[in-house]
Amino acid sequence: MRRPACGAAFLAGLAGGGVLGALTMAHLASRMRADGRLKDAETEQLRRTEEELLARLKALDAAKTDFMATISHELRTPLTSISGYVELLRDSEPDELTDGQQRMLEVIARNARRLRELIEDILTLSRIESGGFSSDQGEVDLAQVIAKAITAFGPAAEKASVRLHVEVRGPLPLRGDGVQLDKVLVNLIGNAVKFTPPEGTVTVHAERAEDHTVLRVADTGMGIPPAEQNALFVRFFRATNAIRQAIPGTGLGLAICQKIVDNHGGSIEVDSAENVGTTVTVRLPH
């Protein structure tokens, strides 16, 4: 004859134990229900705590975004005055300023430009994080946007002994936000010139494909270490080789470019090899 399992025998014994067995079973059932209610209460408490922490984090994030926007706006006014007076002094008669004073004004002007770019990037980032960043799209000729950016970076490239090579098969009409697309070009060309050593080359290529326009900005610069390439679009990320060589930057440019391209329904990708160069490819729908 098969003997009941230990657990079954135990329950059978309780069941056969009359009043004592019934009381024991009732007590066990009561404890099980109490344990279940306790677990439910603990789960509910954890859920409430999680919601409270999430609400606090959202409030802190919103406060940070507001702070960045406020500080950026407050910095703009004195910076505009500084830049204005520097330009007035630089426009003075040649014999009114010594060579040393001219060089000092150039340093002030250069750092004022860097500060202005930083402020604009922070303002753009604050608009992105607050959900207030959108594109005002209309008919745009990308070839003209490229020409404007190339003209703007001509002096900087010449000073850095970097060749600017343009391959644009235009016109390149598409629907887009001209101001934002200009920002993309400024960021990409600016990075390429900044990270390319003397006698290097920056190539800007654009052409119309079947259902999209392709823009490529390639350089023969320092490139990006393979282990860091997945972080290129992370805000404030900077490659270790750029930091090591003390090349200035905020680490916001590519993140902003990605958001602008996303707003246009396009795509952006980076192909880079350390000590060889970097190519950024943007595809925008017509």
Q: What is the pLDDT of residues 60-82, one digit of tens each?
A: 766 766 766 677 667 777 888 88
Pick the CATH number of 1-133 from 3.40.430.10, 3.40.50.720, 1.10.287.130, 1.20.1260.10: 1.10.287.130
**Domain 138-285 indexed as CATH 3.40.190.10:** no
pLDDT value at residue 22: 60
pLDDT value at residue 45: 81
Q: In the chain, where are the structural domains located?
A: 1-133, 138-285
pLDDT value at residue 9: 47
DSSP H helical segments within 91-162, as ranges?
99-129, 142-159
pLDDT value at residue 126: 77
The residues, ordered by sequence, that sit 6+ positions from 279 with a Cβ below 8 Å of its Cβ are 216, 217, 218, 219, 270, 271, 272
The residues, ordered by sequence, that sit 6+ positions from 197 with a Cβ below 8 Å of its Cβ are 162, 221, 222
Evaluate if residue 26 carries a pLDDT over 70.
Answer: no
Q: What's the whole-model pTM score?
A: 0.69
Residue 38's Cβ-side half-sphere holds a number of Cα atoms within 13 Å equal to 6
From CA 279, how far away is CA 270, in angstroms rounded?
6
From CA 171, how far away is CA 144, in angstroms rounded?
8
Average the pLDDT over each of 109-118, 121-130, 166-175, 196-205 and give the range with the smallest value.
121-130
